[in-house]
Amino acid sequence: MSTRDLYTQTPETDRWAAGAGGHPVFTWEYDPERGRLLDLYQKGKDRQWDSTTRIDWDLPVDPEDPLGIPDEANVLYGTDHWNRMSATDRTQVRRHAAAWQFSQFLHGEQGALICAARIVETSPGLDAKLYSATQVVDEARHVEIYTRFLHEKIGLLYPINDSLQGLLADSLNDSRWDLPYLGMQVLIEGLALAAFGLIRDATTQPLAKQLLTYVMQDEARHVAFGRIALRDYYRQLSDAELREREEFVIEGCHLMRDRIQGLEVLENLGLRTDEARRIVEASETMRLFRTLLFARVVPCVKDIGLWGPRLRQAYLDLGVLDLGDADLDLLMAQDDAAAEALDVARVHAAQEQRVAEVHATIAAGQNGSAAPGPPTAGRWR
């Protein structure tokens, strides 16, 4: 089935030809400069993986509740609309909410794929080009993963959110080579990491937990790359140039805050736009969710040297200034450890299953009955 047939609202065209500033940059210095970026490049090569084998796509997903997140987390919960809904209506709310969230993940990952390719083109240093090449492969894998999950497990997609599309356009249109870094590596990837983590920790659906955990392991490297490359570069900029980047961050954060409202879902379920916005703005769950989404962005912005008074005031107004003191290295290490732990647990489960099959075969032979055939569905090979 064509993706076009799964959209809640059919896009006007099948493609968006975004404008792109800047020019491809060749470097004739082939001696890489920064050991830290080369370490990430090596890690990027070492950590490549195949989504068709590492993720257990045979795991079932409940079509009535694809993410298994408590209803209390939905902005409609407890409202008059929710109380009037039938069980079937609430099933639609859960399905559409999951479809919208993962659709934005998918569109964002395609944006990351294109931005990573732009970084390969426009970065002045060979070390950054080498690392970005591994990220291109990572982002292609993420597009593949979210596409398959939406097609096969949810069967519903939402078009790209206007605010996300706007930030992608701003990141790609600017001719300065560092803006795709800043827009994608720091803002979009940072917010995505936080959103992935919130859903990963809340979901009761094993497949959703698997794919989010493994994608986050990749994304942790991407954010680290942006921090290293931009921190070094921004030390060389004038105060005026830094203020221009801070204005970009402020505008991008406001756009992304608007992105996470999910008004499209409520409108698609029959609510008027003004009513949907009122419900979202009044939701304590949404207020907390918005704050937590900036947990990766604010400390990263501070770390790379964009921490002027106007930016700090913007974060104070958003209620996220205190997040600047978060330990990014610890958060990234935890993301990496979560993926490793999941691998170990799955290997252990596969070994236990195999042992059980052997014991069943021995028992069947002792009883003189035919040994049961080994199950294959859901086994990680």
* Model pLDDT for residues 94-133, shown as the tens digit of each residue: 999 999 999 999 999 999 999 889 888 888 888 888 888 9
pLDDT in tens, 243-302: 999 999 999 898 887 666 788 999 998 999 999 999 998 998 888 888 888 998 999 999
pTM above 0.75, yes or no: yes
| Cα–Cα separations (whole angstroms), residue 73 to 81, 93, 198 | 15, 12, 11
For 7, phi then psi, to 5°, come to: -70, 140
pLDDT(52) > 60: yes
Tell whether 378 is covered by a domain. no
Cβ-proximal residues to 320 (8 Å cutoff; 6+ apart), any chain: 291, 294, 298
Residue 253 in tokens: 């954060």
Tell whether 245 is covered by a domain. yes
Tell whether 361 is covered by a domain. no
Tell whether 261 is covered by a domain. yes
Please report, to the nearest 10 degrees, the dihedral formed by the alpha carbons of residues 360, 364, 366, 370 taken in order.
-150
Among 110-124, 151-165, 254-268, 312-326, the range scoring the smallest mean pLDDT is: 254-268
157: helix, strand or coil? strand
Total number of domains constituting the chain: 1
pLDDT in tens, 213-229: 999 999 888 888 888 88
Tell whether 105 is covered by a domain. yes
pLDDT(152) > 90: yes
For residue 86, give the CATH number of its domain. Answer: 1.10.620.20
88, exposed or middle or buried, with CB in 10 Å at 0-12, 13-18, 19+? exposed
Q: In which domain, by residue range, is 269 found?
A: 3-14+21-329
At 94, which helix (H) or strand (E)? helix 87-122
